[in-house]
Structure formats: C-alpha cells, structure tokens
Amino acid sequence: MIWKLMPFSALFLGFVSSTSSAATSSPPTTSSHEGPCRIYNFGLSADCSGRQLTFVPWRTFPITLKSIDLSYNRLQAISAADFQNLPQLRRLLLQYNNISHIDDDAFKNNLLLETLNIFNNSLHEIPASPLTSLLNLTELYMSNNLYRNATLANSFSRLVRLKVLSMGGPLVMGLRKNDFHPIKNIQLEGFAIKCSSNLSYYEKGSLEVIQTKNMGFDMAIDQRPKALEDMLHDLGNKTFRVIQFRNLFEFTYYNLKDDIFQNLKEIRADQLIFHRGKFNENLLRMALLNLQVTLIKRLRLQYIDFARSPTFVDSGAGSSITNLKLDNLDLWYISNPDVLRFDWRFTWLKKIKKLSIQHVYFNSVPCDSWTEMDGVELLDVSNNRLNNDFLYNKQCNYRNTMPNLHIFNLSTNDLTSLGYISSLTKEFRKLEVLDLSNNKLGSTEQTVNCVWTQNITRFIAHHNQLTSKAFPCLPITVNYLDLSNCNLDQLDNTYFKRATNLKTLWLSGNKIKFIPSKWESPSLQFLAMDGNSFGLISKASFQHMPQLSELKAGNNPYHCTCELHTFVQDTIAKGKINLTDWPWNYICYHPEPFLNTSISKYFPGEVACDIRLVIIICVATTATVVLIFVLICYIFNLPWYTKATYQIIRAKYRAYKENQAGEIVNFNYHAFISYSHSDADWVRDQLLPVLENNKNPYRLCIHERDFMPGRWIIDNIIENIESSRKVIFVLSRHFVNSEWCNYELYFAQQRAMGKTFSDVILVVKEPIDPNSLPNKYCKLKKMLSTKTYLEWPQQVNQQPFFWAQLRSVLGKPTMTREGTNSIRSRTSSGRIAVIGPLAEERMPDAAIPDEGNIEEIQNVCIHRNDIELEDRIHIEAN
C-alpha cells in the first residue's frame, strides 16, 4: 500500500511517497548537464530542484522523461508548452514555487501522470480544468495554496484512481457541506485538509462523504471549538487507521466546560494523534474520559504545549482517569513534564500496555508512579536526560512494582551507574529486555554488587563508557548482550564462562586489544567484534565457542600474517562460521608494505604458512643433502681427504705450538747426523768442515765424536736425537744395510711424528731406487717417497748449491741459544758424563773421536740384527 510507506505528516508537508519515486530512489546511472537540470536514470528522470528557475526549461527535456522534480524554484505559471512533449511523464513535482496560474491544457499530453505535487504555491483556485484529463492520477498534493474555499469541482469525480489527496490552505476559512461531494465514491488511503488557523465555519456533514483510511486535519478551532463535535460526528460510523489533529488549539488553551470530545465515542480508529497545539489538563481530561469508552487503541501526543488548568478541582479518585485501556500511549516532545502527573496522579497509566515517554525531560519519578504502572509491559523513557537519582529513589519500595514489565528502555539518558539500575529493576519480575544504550554507564562506577532479576534475557548497553570492570556487574542470564561502542579494552573470561545462555554478543566499536586465549562461551552463536583494536586473530581464538556460526570481525588493525591467512581460509573453507562482513571490511594494517590491502588479496603462500609443509620440506631437504653427501663421500673418497686435511692441520698446529715452545726447549745441537761407517769419511771430510768451520758454525752431533762414553748406546741415540733440532740421514746403500742406522731412523721418525716432519733431513749420497729397497725398510721407503730429499751431486760445481740447500733446510745456526746450551765435555780422565756449566766454552778437542768407541759403534751398527733393549752396550773411555 502506498499509504503505509508514507509518513503521515508528509501530507501536510507535501512530501511525495517513496513508492512512486522509484526514479529518484535508484542511483543515478547516467547524467548530463545540458541545461539547468540534471538528467539521469537513462533519460527517465530530471532533477531541476532548487535552481532558481523562473520558467520550465522544457527544451532540454528528453522525450523519455518519466519524472521531473521542479520543486523549490520560482516558477509563476505553468503553460501548455511546458510538458506537452512528455507523453511518458508519471511524476511531476512542483511544490514550493510561486505558481499562481496553470493553463487549462497544461497536462493534456501527460495522460499517464500519476503523481502531481503543487503543494505550497500561490494558486487562487483549485486547478480543476487542467486535472480533468488525468484519469490515472493517484496522488495529488495541492494544499497550502491561496484558495478561499475547498470546494472540489465535479470533474474530480472522474479521478477514480486517486489514493492520496491533500488540499486546503491558509485562506480556507471553513468547510461547506458539498465541498467534497464529487469524491464521495472514491476510496482514498489518505486525505488531509488544511484550513485557516481562524476556522470560521464548519457545515455539518462536510466530511461525512470522505472515505479514507487516514485522515488529517490541520485546522485550529480556537474560534469555534464546537466545530470539533460536528467534525467527529461526521467521522463516526467509519473505520480509520489514523486520525491526526494538527494544531487543534493554536493560540489558546480551552477552558470551557463543554465536552467537545463527546463524539469521540463514535469514532472507530486504530490511532489518534494530537500534533502540536495547546493542551491543558482540562482539554486532555475531556479527551481521555471519552477515550476510555472508545475502541481507539493508541494515543499519541506529540509536540504538545501542555499546561495545568488552574481551575481544576481535585475531588479525589472520582475525577481521575482510571480506566484508560490503551495498547500504546506515546508522549513525545511535550514541553511540560507535568503532563505525566496528569491530575496529580498516575492512575491514567495503569492500563497502558506500551508507554513511551520521550523528550519530555522529566526530572523525578515519584515512588507512586511505579506502583500505578501495573499494566505496563513496555516502558520506554528514552531520550529524557534522566540521571541515576531522578530515576532511582532509595526511599521508594519497588517490591512488587511493575509486575508486567517486559521491556524497559532507558536509552539516551544520563545514567552512570549499573548498580542503580540493578537495584531499581531487580524487583521487576518479568523484565526481560533492558535497553541502557547511549548513557554514561561506567563513567563514575564504583564496584558494586549488582543483583538482577532472573528473567533478563536481552541487555542492550551500547554507546556507554563501560570498561572491563563492569563485567562482574552484568546479568549472566542474558542470551543477547550488546556492548558495542563502550570503550571496552579487555574482556572478562569469567563473565562469559558464567553467562551460559549467551547467544548473541555485540562488541563492535570498542578498543579491545586482543582476543583472550581461553574465551569460553558455550552457547554463543553470533559475535560482532568489528571496529576494535586487535591485530591478531587465529583459529584458536574462537575454539571454545562450539556454537558460533556468525562472526563479524572486520575493521580491525590486522597484522597480515600466516595465522590470519590460515584463519580466514580455514573459516571460509569449513563454512561453519559465516564471516558476515567478509571481505570488504578486512584490511591489512601491518606490516607496512601491506597497509591498506584487502586481506582477501593477501596470499602469503602455502609453503610459508603450513607448518607441516615447512617441516616436511626441511626434513626432505636435509635427507637429500645427507644422501648426496654420503654419495659424494663414497665416490670421491672424501674420508681419506678429510683425514689428510686433519693431519695437515694437526701438523700445522703442532708447528705453531713448537714455534711458541721453541723459546723454551733447548737444543744442544743443530743437527744429529746419522750415517753408516762407510760414509764416515764423507761426513768427516766434507760435511763437518762446511757446516762447522765458518763464522756461524752449526753444532752437529755425530756418534764418533759426541756420544757419551760409558752409556748405553740406545740412550745415547735417543738423548742426542732429542737434543738435536734436526736429524740428518746420510743415505747410501751401506746405510740401508745397517740395522743400527735403521734404528736411528726409527727414533728420528718417532720424533718427527711427535714434532714436525721437517725435522728429518734426508741426504742421499748415492742414488737409491726406493723400490729396490727391501720391504722391511718401509719407513725409509715412505720417507723417500713422501719427503723431498737432498741429493749429493757428483759434479763439484754443483756441490756449493747442495750446501746452501742444506743450510737453508737446517735454518740459521743462531737459532739455538748459545748461552743456555749445556755442553757436554769430557775431562781428561773423562769416564763419566758431565753436564757442563752453561758458560763453559765448547772444547774443540773434545770433538776428536775416540777410535775404540767408534769401532764398537760401528760393530753395533753393522752386526746387530735385533734390537734387544736389555743389551747394555757400554762405551768405554780409553
């Protein structure tokens, strides 16, 4: 129905119902600016509103136009040409112009016109002729013009499709019996009539013929209060949805005794509205007394200027309204809160089911008011600036009050304390819904113990200043809890654990910084957490809410991480939880490169996010690497290389250690020379002179000369090798054949192993083919094959190079510390070894070999086959 969608007062303001305005309500799709008007909606609509037009710019109108808005201009006349090219026109808005003339054939080509609005113009006559042909007209707004009477021409009887008609104006002084006769057969949805605020006459029966669902009067009866009786009588025996009186008394309060509302009894209407105007107690009582016996179920007083009647005599209960049975009583925007304490009692509220008192700004609720409102099921006192003390009075006894109250709306007041509200309402047995939105709850809250009635199921407290401290004071019986826009920064797990019935929870627009990990809510089905301050959300966040099926969590400063991605993917995939504001409301906030990107476009990649995948990949990679490594080892004999490298490193380390220790370890000799007796001549004649007889002599140890007489020869060998920096082996075939020399070789090699290999110097006096050596000389063979050796050249001119080489291998002779050397010397009787004093000079004669000793050593060297350590060989002096 057209009427249902139209606010009633629109009739008086000339607004056009939205059903026929499909053209304007749809978004402009294409628009052009040729001419003063905006043509949009594919050339179907033109918007020319408020453009100071003095004439209709008809040349710029496309022929296709169905809707034209020319309101709020300065048009003075409508001529035949203005709309003649628009055969499709359905809707023409001309309100708020200064039109005083409309050509008779102005609309002759607009036969499809359905809506015509000429509200608030300067027409001096009802434009009957131009409208005659508009048989499809359903809405005609033509009030607020300068007609002097509201007489409809007979042609109006043809407008059988008419549903909405508004007429009249400030100059209409009254209504005559036959004014509306032409439309007596037309079934209207809405009819509104405006008359002068100084109504001068009303002929009985004028309104009788009107058939409408909704009736609006805009006429002041200050001058003729009696007219109301006749008007109400004319409305009798008909059924209305709404009857509205606007400005019934515009200038004066009615103080007469005559009951002008007596004919209200005959009225059958769903709702009666008094809008604006002056009402005193007297007039209101008249109305209410008559209302008590009508079928009218709803009464609304709005924008009323209320005053007490000083003449009223309170004659006890008899003068009171005690039987006003209404489904709805709305007291809105009433200038004087005394209206509530109507005739000093609240008895008139006793049988009201839904009582709504808004914008009345009362500042106390006396104790007796609560006891009177027995029948009230819904009490709406929103928008009243109530504070705790106005509302709750400790002196009142609230026991058994408000026994039927279901819904208590305290929205938009100045309440600060949940504790007060709970004290007030805990006795309201049936209270189920409590709306405390748009207050200041929590702003001055001290921790109090709140006791709520057990029946509260909906608790609405959005737009307050509640903090997490308020949770202990919230009722736990609720299944609906709205704490949106409350400054909450934390949640209280204990509350949600206890509130086992909670099914719907609104937490939008708070400052919640994180989702608590153990958030349990066994029955929760709907959760709104959009517009908070948390950045992290994960699958685990809502795992303790088994019933959750709808989640609204957008508009948070999300950290775009794998966790979030997984959460979203998982939630969407499972389909158990519906993300109601996905994806438009989900935007990355962190990290910076993703700032402002939609989370639906954030793809961190499967691999990065799936921890199992990461583990599998890690394990696989490691296994492969190990396998390849093992293979390489196998193919390239790596262990051998490793061992070799290890030995090299170890040798280097040892050399380094030795270098460090070199300062401390003392060597008596630069070199120990090992040779067989057949090479003794070469040693004595060539080697010793070159190395010893020069400016920087090397000190060398040879057994002929330097072995300690009287000591076991093995000890001598060991000790002298130990106290020599290097060991020089003079290799020849004889050397190889000498077991004893091999022994020396053994020790030298042992030492070389313990120290550095470079301590062993091989001098090959005669070329030896290592392969020709017998196997038992494997050590020598190995040394020859792994160590570079010095070859004694046969050519004389090459020999100096050999010596240079040898010297460089030996190092500088100064490297042993001369002063600290202990030098063994033999005394003339010389039977025992003496470790000489440090300062003692080395005696050159001590180097003279003793023939007998040498013989013996040579014997040992040549003839021994086995080394028997028990064999004690003594070197005897002389």
Q: At what angle do helices 638-661 and 611-636 cross, to 10 degrees?
A: 80
Site map (CB under 6 A) of ligand NAG, residues 665-704, x = contact: ----------------------------------------
Task: Tell which one of 132, 151, 369, 443 touches ligand NAG (CB under 6 A).
Answer: 151
Nearest to 423 by CA among 391, 404, 451, 446: 451
Report how many residues bind ligand NAG under the rule CB under 6 A.
Answer: 46
DSSP string, 145-191: S--S--PPPGGGGG-TT--EEEEE-TT--EE-TTTTGGGTT-EEEEE
- Contact between 505 and 481 under an 8 Å Cβ cutoff? The reply is yes
Please state whether 400 falls in left (phi above 0), alpha (psi between -120 and 50) or beta. Answer: left
772 phi and psi, to 5 degrees? -80, -10
**By CB under 6 A, residue 19 contacts ligand NAG:** no
Both tokens assigned to 728: 């020089």
Q: Which of residues 213-252 bind ligand NAG (CB under 6 A)?
A: 223, 233, 236-237
Site map (CB under 6 A) of ligand NAG, residues 576-615, x = contact: --x-x--------------xx-------------------
Task: Tell which one of 175, 405, 433, 736 touches ligand NAG (CB under 6 A).
Answer: 433
DSSP string, 800-844: HHHHHHHHHHH--GGGS-TTT---B---SS--S--B--TTPPPPG
**By CB under 6 A, residue 112 contacts ligand NAG:** yes
Task: Tell which one of 148, 184, 576, 874 touches ligand NAG (CB under 6 A).
Answer: 148
Both tokens assigned to 514: 């994180």
**By CB under 6 A, residue 52 contacts ligand NAG:** no
Both tokens assigned to 219: 């006429």
Site map (CB under 6 A) of ligand NAG, residues 127-146, x = contact: --------xx-------xxx
**By CB under 6 A, residue 322 contacts ligand NAG:** no
Nearer to ligand NAG, 47 or 380 (CB): 380
**By CB under 6 A, residue 409 contacts ligand NAG:** yes
**By CB under 6 A, residue 125 contacts ligand NAG:** yes
- CA atoms of 24 and 18, how far apart (whole Å): 9
**By CB under 6 A, residue 435 contacts ligand NAG:** yes
Q: How far is the CB of 236 from ligand NAG (least distance, A)?
A: 4
- Provide the CB-side half-sphere exposure for 746 (13 A, CA): 12
Instruction: Please report where in the chains the tokens 């809410």 appear, as a residue.
Output: 545
Q: How far is the CB of 353 from ligand NAG (least distance, A)?
A: 14
- CA atoms of 201 and 191, how far apart (whole Å): 20
**By CB under 6 A, residue 100 contacts ligand NAG:** yes
**By CB under 6 A, residue 547 contacts ligand NAG:** no
Nearer to ligand NAG, 71 or 723 (CB): 71
Please, which residues have CB within 8 angstroms of residue 724's CB and are 6 or more apart in sequence?
667, 668, 669, 670, 671, 672, 701
Q: How far is the CB of 176 from ligand NAG (least distance, A)?
A: 6
Q: Residue 348, SS3?
A: helix
598 DSSP 8-state letter: B
- CA atoms of 727 and 673, how far apart (whole Å): 6
Binding segment (CB under 6 A) for ligand NAG, from list 240-248, 454-462, 468-476, 788-796 = 454-462
Task: Tell which one of 187, 239, 447, 454 touches ligand NAG (CB under 6 A).
Answer: 454
Nearest to 713 by CA among 872, 878, 536, 477: 872
**By CB under 6 A, residue 9 contacts ligand NAG:** no
Nearer to ligand NAG, 433 or 768 (CB): 433
Nearer to ligand NAG, 32 or 454 (CB): 454
- CA atoms of 861 and 855, how far apart (whole Å): 10
Provide the 10 A C-beta neighbour count for residue 316: 7
Nearest to 245 by CA among 361, 381, 267, 328: 267
Q: Indicate the helix (H) or strand (E) that contains 419.
A: helix 418-425
- Contact between 126 and 147 under an 8 Å Cβ cutoff? The reply is yes
Nearer to ligand NAG, 9 or 198 (CB): 198
Site map (CB under 6 A) of ligand NAG, residues 60-99, x = contact: --------------x-x---------------------x-
Binding segment (CB under 6 A) for ligand NAG, from list 453-461, 523-531, 693-701, 756-764 = 453-461
Q: Indicate the helix (H) or strand (E) that contains 201.
A: strand 201-202
- CA atoms of 104 and 660, how far apart (whole Å): 127
Binding segment (CB under 6 A) for ligand NAG, from list 40-48, 405-413, 538-546, 851-859 = 405-413
Nearer to ligand NAG, 18 or 151 (CB): 151
Q: Which of residues 842-871 bind ligand NAG (CB under 6 A)?
A: none
**CA triple 521-525-528, angle to 5 deg:** 90
Provide the 10 A C-beta neighbour count for residue 440: 18
**By CB under 6 A, residue 414 contacts ligand NAG:** no
Both tokens assigned to 395: 């002196």
Q: How far is the CB of 251 from ligand NAG (least distance, A)?
A: 7
Residues facing 168 on adjacent strands: 194
Site map (CB under 6 A) of ligand NAG, residues 323-362, x = contact: ----------------------------------------
Provide the 10 A C-beta neighbour count for residue 389: 12
Q: How far is the CB of 229 from ligand NAG (least distance, A)?
A: 12
Nearer to ligand NAG, 203 or 305 (CB): 203
Binding segment (CB under 6 A) for ligand NAG, from list 60-68, 426-434, 625-633, 823-831 = 426-434
Site map (CB under 6 A) of ligand NAG, residues 184-203, x = contact: --------------x-x---
Nearer to ligand NAG, 409 or 858 (CB): 409
- Contact between 218 and 194 under an 8 Å Cβ cutoff? The reply is yes
- Per CB under 6 A, residues contacting ligand NAG are 74, 76, 98, 100, 111-112, 120, 122, 125, 135-136, 144-149, 151, 169-170, 176, 198, 200, 223, 233, 236-237, 380, 382-383, 407, 409, 411-412, 429-430, 433, 435, 453-455, 460, 578, 580, 595-596
